[in-house]
Amino acid sequence: MEEVDKILIHALRQVGTEVGENIERVGQFTSELIVEAVVRCIRVIDPGPGGVLPTTLPPGMSARFRVGMSLAQACQDIGYKGEIGYQTFLYSNEPEIRSLLMFLVEKLPRESSEASDQPTGKSAVLHRAIATVIKAQLAVSWVPLNCRLPLHGETQSRAASQKFSVHPLSLPYCNEGQKSLKEVKEYKRDILLPATAQSPSQTSMVSSMLEQHMADLSSTQEWDTEWKSQGLLYRLAPQEYRSRKLKRLRNRIKEQLRSVAMQSPESIYSVCRPSSELSDLLRAFRGPAPFDLILTKGTHFTHTQKFTFTEEATAVKSQVHSGRHSEGDTQLHQQEELALLQQQFQQLCSDIDQIAADMRHRSVTSTQVFDELKQRELENAKNQEDMQVKKTTLELLPDADNNLQKLQSQVETGASRVVNLASQWEKHRAPLIEELRRLKQICSSKDLESSTKLSEIKHLHEKICMATEDAKKKEESYKQLVTELESLPRDVSRSAYTQRILEIVGNINKQKEDITKILSDTKELQKEINNLTGKLDRTFAVTDELVFKDAKKDESVRKSYKYLAALQENCNQLIQTIEDTGTILREIRDLEEQVGIS
């Protein structure tokens, strides 16, 4: 009971009752304290009527009586079923007060239990936090810029509405593999500002740093995933893999550009252009090119053009020259000369055209002739070789037999040498082939080994990923649980509750024992009753028989037999009635209990 009292006192203190430190049981409560506790509880439970009740007992007896009556009335209004009256408060007894206080404490609204009833998922916690923060922010009124206090800093300062703008930063990376130049080192040491001073404004500094970090992180991460997923399969060092990929990529881009460049001349006039942007770009690059090409290289046409123009100029000059010599010539003469000159000029032009055509023809023929010449030379060389062979045969002819033998011997020695060499080659070849096979085997075994190792590595990577994810999840749930734990009320001592629970369990055990005892008693009783009824039945049967026998002879015995039968019947009826009464009583009790519960 002491634990119950502790809990009660704790609850009363929470409501606002000033219970002294030395009071540990309900039995030590004074009348004043009881009144205060009850009034405070009622005020919390039902603030309407509870508000008018006084928390202290007045000195006068009649006033005290009235206060007690009103308190009892208020308790009954709340729903207290037990016996209550002014005497409960003024002349208290411990069990009554305890049951009253327990009832009141149970009726107290439970904020903490309501809070714990709410869903405790992560998102729910977040939503609740957001809601509370927004509520608080909405409660703060807007103030002009100049009157802002630190209180308004979070929601109304300009920093909240500032853009997240990024400036590129230059950071001195230290590449271990490459040795940096002296100039680079000097620059990094002397000139390069620290990263915090590089961005022009203070606000963009943080964002720039975050962005830089993010970019670095994502690039390494992407490279990591690529290397783990695809790169390992190539069985190359990372650098080699990169260089190979770069080469492949360059080739692809080259091909793409070439194909677009081939297409674009045709697609200029076509209506739909699928890769218009790229081809436009290429055309923009090619734009100034044709002029340069003509100017630098020059075509046949431009050459002839130049040539004709220069010639014309000289002709004009000579005309001027001759014009000076013959002073006072008539206009006719001039015209004649002009016509002549024009004729000459036309002739020259035609001559030039002819010559050009001739030249072209000549050049073509000259190439033909060159080709012919080459062919002839080849033929010549062949013929000379033929001649050489024939000459030697002719020289050898006079001593034919001898020479034939020589030749045969030479052929034989050659054959034997070939055989010899072949056998030698075989000798060399066998160990080499052996070696080759051995190496191949080693290679294949190593291949197998490496592939198994590769798969192992992949497996490990996957495991690492899974483990990290697992760890993350666990950490998150841990955090959530911690927040939940913090949000739970922690003021009631745990041991009090556990002790109370243990006490209750002990009580229940005791009650169980009692119940079993009572049950066994009941069983015994039942047995006795059964015994007695059996005995009664037997006795009645024997008596009945005896009396029945005598009743045939004697009149008075017949009467007594009748009485016996009546007695039997009455007794049976009586027993029946008693049993019925018992069952009805039990039912009544059941119903009463049910009513009491509901």
Partner 1 sequence: MKTTMKALGRISATDCVKLCHRVVDGLCGREPPCRSDYSATWSLEEWLQLLDFLSGLFRSTVGSNITDEEVLAKLSDVDHSHSQAVLSVVRAREEEIRRALLDRTNSISSATLQDFDWQLKLALSSDKISSLNTPLLSLSLDVREKGALRPITMELNKEELSSLISSLEAANKVVLQLK
Which residues of this chain interact with partner 1, rule CB under 8 A?
127, 130-131, 134, 163-168, 170, 181, 183-184, 186-187, 191, 198, 200, 222-223, 226, 245, 249, 277, 281
Q: Between 164 and 370, whose beta carbon lies closer to partner 1?
A: 164
The position carrying tokens 């509870």 is 50
Nearer to partner 1, 25 or 242 (CB): 242
Q: Output the smallest distance, CB 165 to partner 1, in A.
A: 6
Number of other CB atoms surrounding residue 341 within 10 Å: 16
Over the Cα atoms of the chain, what is R_g?
62
In whole angstroms, the minimum distance from the beta carbon of 277 to partner 1 comes to 7
- Minimum CB separation of residue 125 from partner 1 in Å reads 14
* Identity of the residue, 230 or 570, whose beta carbon is nearer to partner 1 in the bound complex: 230
Min. distance of Cβ 2 from partner 1 in angstroms? 49
In the complex with partner 1, which residue's Cβ is closer, 242 or 558?
242
Residue 191 CB, nearest approach to partner 1 (Å): 5
Q: What's the residue count for the chain?
A: 598
Where do runs of H (alpha helix) occur along 16-85? Answer: 31-45, 47-50, 61-78
| Nearer Cβ to partner 1 (224/399) | 224
User: In whole angstroms, how close is the CB of 123 to partner 1 at the nearest point?
Assistant: 10
Which tokens sit at 287? 């734009």
**Using CA of residue 368, residue 370, residue 376, residue 382, what is the dihedral sign?**
negative
Q: How far is the CB of 127 from partner 1 (least distance, A)?
A: 7
Q: How far is the CB of 183 from partner 1 (least distance, A)?
A: 4
* Residue closer to partner 1 (CB basis): 192 or 564: 192
Q: Which residue has the tokens 């004649």?
A: 336
Q: Write down the least CB distance from residue 285 to partner 1, Å.
A: 11
Write down the least CB distance from residue 181 to partner 1, Å. Answer: 6
Identify the CA nearest to 227 among candidates 521, 501, 566, 461: 461
In angstroms, the CA 1 to CA 101 distance is 13
Give the residue with the Cβ less far from partner 1, 14 or 203.
Answer: 203
Q: Which of 349, 354, 351, 325 is nearest to 337 (CA)?
A: 325
CB-nearer residue toward partner 1: 175 or 556 = 175
- Closest to partner 1 by CB, 45 vs 192, is 192
Q: At what angle do helices 2-15 and 94-107 cross, to 10 degrees?
A: 50
User: Which residue is associated with the tokens 């990591």?
Assistant: 224
Q: How many CB atoms lie within 10 A of CB 75?
A: 23
- Helices 61-78 & 31-45, crossing angle to 10 degrees? 40
Give the C-alpha separation, 8 to 13, whole Å.
Answer: 9
Q: Is 298 left (phi over 0), alpha (psi -120 to 50) or beta?
A: left
Closer residue to partner 1 (CB): 178 or 331: 178
Question: Which C-beta is closer to partner 1: that of 131 or that of 421?
Answer: 131
Least CB distance to partner 1 at residue 120 (A): 18
Following DSSP, what letter does each residue of 160-226 receive, concatenated?
GG--------------SSSPPPHHHHHIIIIIPPPHHHHSSSHHHHHHHHHHHHHHHHHHHHHHHHH
In Å, what is the CA distance from 406 to each residue of 391, 396, 412? 18, 11, 10
The least CB distance from residue 291 to partner 1, in Å, is 22
Nearer to partner 1, 193 or 466 (CB): 193
Report the SS3 class of residue 549: helix
Residues 6+ apart with CB under 8 A from 333: 326
Collect all residues with Cβ–Cβ distance below 8 Å to 2 and sequence separation of at least 6.
Answer: 24, 25
Residue written as token pair 């062919």:
375
Q: How far is the CB of 168 from partner 1 (least distance, A)?
A: 5
Identify the helix (H) or strand (E) that includes residue 491: none
The one-character DSSP state at 576 is H
Which residue, 216 or 590, has its beta carbon nearer to partner 1? 216
The candidate with the shortest Cα–Cα distance to 7, out of 561, 585, 501, is 501
Cβ contacts of 536 within 8 Å, gap of 6 or more: none
Instruction: Select 188 or 461, whichever has its Cβ closest to partner 1.
Output: 188
Q: Please report how close the Cβ of residue 296 comes to partner 1 at its closest, in angstroms.
A: 20
Q: What is the distance between the alpha carbons of residues 414 and 408, in angstroms, rounded to a whole number?
A: 10
